[in-house]
Chains A and B, each alone.
Chain A
């Protein structure tokens, strides 16, 4: 006990200085700071508010004033000083990362005309929609580490899905950040219910263009380097864990240059009996996985802070996929023998948040000296809060422990008892008999003061540029072709093969619909379809699931409300196009926003959350899980705040009842009819056309109810096997969709624009071809099935707009009958394929 020293006499500010110094100057100073910071008393309750705030900032707690006051009041009531361990535990638990203060807190919102007070933004938008929909196949929503829905028709299986962000760490060390991001989300799925076996990983990145040539402030990495690093991180971790990475996306916008976004997702299968945790007092608290070191302290509070020059470098780690694989294998074996009653992963906050979560309804007693350590000089509070990767905490009935220990040791991974769950309602932590923390669970989880935030949404001023499609004069024959070629070569549309090929998307051999499709296995798939036989072992059961994404921050610049609806619409259409049963689809939301302390930013976030609510209700699709990452803004090279564009990633997952009915997007033969479902409107706001031509227009506005009806009809025709290929219309509209289907299948297409159903009736050819009106899909149908198809689509806006051809070119006739576009497939495909490899050179 030589490292414990009573420093009560030293002014607290002095303690803080030493710690900060330790962070910056390396190991030796850090060791010194440990001794200092492990002081028995911080004189917390008597410090003046200003000094208290300084202390919080110096020790990296990211606690705000009302929170500091609440802690002070609590300890005045208890009648003693808090220990460092207690304040650290509270700071972790109350961090933006763990408690989502903004989303769960009260928000006063006004949009100029109306104002509204949300008691909890999250509960009154996203959760409310899910509750009202009341889908019986949602087994666990918003409570656990991942959303859990029923899988297959046998009722024996459940599917757990989670998507996480790991933005701040990826900004400073892309490789390690992406690795620990994917590692963390895999553990979320392992820690959902009693553990699900991961069968699919996804990754979505939002970054500045790789050829960004502008200035960057000191410490910011070039986007090309960030992109290389995050791809390598996801690749190495996913491939080494033996989990296919088969879904995701990539979006480039220069406003992400200081705050890149990295979304990692995992889906896993578990037996339906394993959906519920049931921790009982008397169960042992068992830590499994790697040893604990001084890694990544303050990761959770780090996410409550904006990222500037000197970030807290200890929050950065490198992952160890083989250790996690060992934990996975041992855990699945232990689950199937029903050796434990609860499990959760050590994410941000380490043991403190994992034990705190499991013991939420009972209480826990922890003796930290039993935790295996990487280095011996860790202070007790550091052991308690370390975010060393690849660790999980289990609740194990004492009689099962010997068998459990044998299983984990056989896999070569650590297993030790830290303490036991109690029924006292208190979290009691000690180290070699000395108290580290003794907290009331209720105060810890519900004692956080709620700060009302102000949100304002003002309409974006009308842009001054000319409206899209308003060019006068005779159509120049080559112009639309040239635009189409440039669109296909645009970074947000071009082929992602360079990146996808680095990921193993085939391992576990259940990837039925792969990310790359078509004649030469290089066309862009809409969504992946997974047959999780590696997890279920049921070879006769052909049930699978599909997972797709929707993301478009460009629409969000005009109105986040419509962005949310468009993203939901696109995610659903992606599932529809691979043959999924979208009546049983579920959504996951991932919000990445700038500082919620700026009312205009928060206003956008509120708009997006309202959009999510209306999307869920309109499409009849519940949200089952989600995550938000706020404070994505930093000072740029001139010292101005650069906020990211408000970004919402909607992930949709739906069952595929029979994987043999699933569908790809490439044309299957010549002479087939092409049907366009949905109405094309003058909606070019935020579109690719508007970005390339510098014109403006209305943001696309989906009508969820009508769209849901159309999707259901299309879904019916797919299960009747009437459809040969299907593709959704997104960035670049009809033009890009038909080009992608054509060059992937290596058949041409001939389209007649006067057949396209438009509203209003008269639109420019350019608008019809490139408008991004939502809820539209392009379908290829064999001529013999035309009638049956039209009959099945009764009451849905659909038109036959052309046919596929053996001639390898796209030919489009304008509304006046003249040919407005005629381009060889090889030109289109070359443009589409060249961009990324050239940018990544």
Chain B
């Protein structure tokens, strides 16, 4: 029997500060509107990293601050679990590469964390979070996402109602 290393898994979400224009969000908004979710009013995009390995909270804070975000334009949060709150027409769409697909960004981040002098993570995956504001149903949104933001051939995605 091999010993499974008891690494902890952290989620780091890096997003643009609200005062900055989110070009990627605007592009995603146009796409999901054209694909049928015409009531969408706003989309903000952030990047989320799943870091798994022998790191502690302080290590992850340091990596997020020095490597994954830009102090001027970004803010970041280290999450323990994705927030699930009452939606009020706020949606959270997470898009991840399937585990069988090479995640080149995640792989580069894994190496870069080690190069910061921190313990090397066992695995890092990188995904996108779309925070969408607009009145719709989960089914409609899932269909829209499948047509625009995620390709089920390489991606998995989740749609949750979540304020924030």
Contact = CB atoms under 8 A, between A and B. Distances in A.
A294 B147 contact: no
Nearest to A319: B104
Given A313-B153, A322-B108, A225 B148 contact: yes
Contacts of A316: 153-154
Residue among B34, B108, B111, B151 facing the most chain A CB atoms (10 A cut-off): B151
B17 to A, nearest CB: 25
Contacts, number: 45
B99 A293 contact: no
A27 interface: yes
Interface string A293-320: 1110000000000000000010011111
A322 B107 CA distance: 10
A687 to B, nearest CB: 32
A611 interface: no
B154 A294 contact: no
B103 interface: yes
Nearest to A295: B102
A222 B147 contact: yes
Interface in A211-241: 221-222, 225, 229
A841 interface: yes
A382 to B, nearest CB: 13
B100 interface: yes
A172 interface: yes
Contacts of B147: 222, 225
Given A222-B147, A225-B147, A225-B148, A320 B102 contact: yes
Interface in A23-67: 27
Interface in B115-158: 147-148, 151, 153-154
Contact of B104 (A294, A295, A321, A841): A321
A481 interface: no
Interface in A156-184: 172-173, 175-176
Contacts of B153: 172-173, 313, 316
Contact of B151 (A173, A293, A319): A173
Interface string B4-44: 00000000000000000000000000100010000000000
Contact of A27 (B34, B97, B99): B99
B72 interface: no
A323 interface: yes
Contacts of A320: 102, 104, 107
Residue among B34, B102, B151 facing the most chain A CB atoms (10 A cut-off): B102
Contacts of A295: 100-102
Nearest to A311: B153
A88 B147 CA distance: 35
Interface in B19-78: 30, 34
Contacts of A222: 147
Nearest to A323: B104
A318 B151 contact: no
Contacts of A221: 151
A254 B25 CA distance: 30
Contacts of A319: 102, 104
Contacts of A841: 30, 34
A630 B40 CA distance: 42
A458 interface: no
A293 B154 contact: no
A388 B107 CA distance: 15
Interface string B103-114: 110011001000
Contacts of B107: 320, 323
A461 B101 CA distance: 49
A27 B154 CA distance: 14
A582 B136 CA distance: 60
Contacts of A172: 153
Interface residues of A, number: 25
A389 interface: yes
B100 A322 contact: no
Nearest to B108: A322
A134 interface: no
A812 to B, nearest CB: 39
B164 to A, nearest CB: 28
Contact of A318 (B97, B99, B111, B148): B97
A412 interface: yes
B104 to A, nearest CB: 4
A293 B102 contact: yes
Contacts of A293: 102
A229 B153 CA distance: 14
Contact of A389 (B100, B102, B111, B151): B102
B104 A27 contact: no
B101 A318 contact: yes
A322 B101 contact: no
A318 B104 contact: yes
Nearest to B102: A318
B111 A412 contact: yes
Nearest to A26: B100
Nearest to A237: B104
A373 B137 CA distance: 43
A319 B154 CA distance: 12
Residue among A295, A320, A389 facing the most chain B CB atoms (10 A cut-off): A320
Given A222-B147, A412-B111, A173 B154 contact: yes
A424 B100 CA distance: 38
A27 B156 CA distance: 14
Contacts of A389: 102
Contacts of B148: 225
Contacts of B102: 293, 295, 317-320, 388-389
A295 B111 CA distance: 21
A318 B103 contact: yes
Interface string A739-756: 000000000000000000
A321 B102 CA distance: 11
A320 B154 CA distance: 15
B123 to A, nearest CB: 11
Residue among B30, B34, B147, B153 facing the most chain A CB atoms (10 A cut-off): B153
A317 B99 CA distance: 12
A732 to B, nearest CB: 30
A27 B100 contact: yes
Nearest to B2: A376
A321 B101 CA distance: 15
A176 B102 CA distance: 10
Nearest to B154: A173
Contacts of A317: 101-102
A492 to B, nearest CB: 23
A318 B99 CA distance: 12
A294 B100 contact: yes
A320 B101 CA distance: 11
A221 B146 CA distance: 10
B104 A176 contact: no
Nearest to B103: A318
Contacts of A322: 104, 108
B30 A176 contact: no
Nearest to A240: B104
Interface string A341-375: 00000000000000000000000000000000000
Contact of B154 (A176, A225, A321, A412): A176
A514 B119 CA distance: 45
B111 to A, nearest CB: 7
A732 B7 CA distance: 64
A328 to B, nearest CB: 15
21 contacts: A27-B100, A172-B153, A173-B153, A175-B151, A176-B101, A293-B102, A294-B100, A295-B100, A295-B101, A313-B153, A316-B153, A316-B154, A318-B97, A319-B102, A321-B104, A322-B104, A322-B108, A323-B107, A389-B102, A412-B111, A841-B34
Given A229-B151, A316-B153, 6 more contacts: A27-B100, A295-B101, A319-B102, A323-B107, A388-B102, A841-B30
Interface of A: 27, 172-173, 175-176, 221-222, 225, 229, 293-295, 313, 316-323, 388-389, 412, 841
Give the 3 A-B CB pairs with smallest separation, nearest first: A320-B104, A173-B153, A318-B102
